[in-house]
Amino acid sequence: MNERQERCETCRWWHRLQLDDEEGDCRRYPPSINPAMGEEESPGLFPLTESSLWCGEWKPLSLPVVERDTRPLTVLNLPVHVQNALERADILTVGFLVQCSKLFFTDGNVSGIGPKSLRDIRSCLAAIGLKLKGD
C-alpha cells in the first residue's frame, strides 16, 4: 500500500513542535478556546496532530525552501542572550526565524529582543546569506 502524500507533515498549515518530534500544530484556523476551561482560563490552542495524519483541508507546502530550513539556531552563532530569548519564544529553527518580520520583533512579541539584538540577528543571518521576512 502506498503511503499517502497528503498528510500533516507535507501541509502548508502544519507546524512541527520540536525538530525531532512527530507532533505539530495545525494552523489552518485561529486557535480555539477550550470550552471546558472557559474563556478566562483557556490560552487558545491549535489542534495537535501527528505528522502522518491527514484531513480534507490539506494544501501543499508553498513556502520557499529557506522557510522550511530546519537547522537549529546554533548554526547562526547568535549571542547567547539572543538565542535564549528566541528559544523562549519557541523560535527554534532558521526557517522559523526568517519567517519573522522586523515588525514581529519591534512590537515586543519576543521578550529580550531590542534594537541591538535585532541587529545581531540580521548580521548573523546575512553571514549565511539570509534575511528576515520583509527586509
pLDDT in tens, 112-128: 888 899 899 999 999 98
Sheet (strand 23-26) strand order? 14-16, 23-26, 48-50
**Closest CA relative to residue 97, chosen from 128, 116, 60, 72:** 72
Residue 43: per-residue pLDDT: 73
Domain count, the chain: 2
pLDDT band at 41 (very low <50, low <70, confident <90, very high): low
129-135: average pLDDT: 83
Q: Which residues contact 43 (CB under 8 A, 6 or more apart)?
A: 31
pLDDT band at 39 (very low <50, low <70, confident <90, very high): low
**Cβ(89)–Cβ(81) below 8 Å:** no
CA dist 68 to 44, 91, 116, Å? 25, 13, 26
Q: Do residues 32 and 77 share a domain?
A: no
Q: Is position 135 within any domain? A: no
Q: Do residues 46 and 91 share a domain?
A: no
Domain span at 122: 65-127
> What is the reported pTM?
0.51
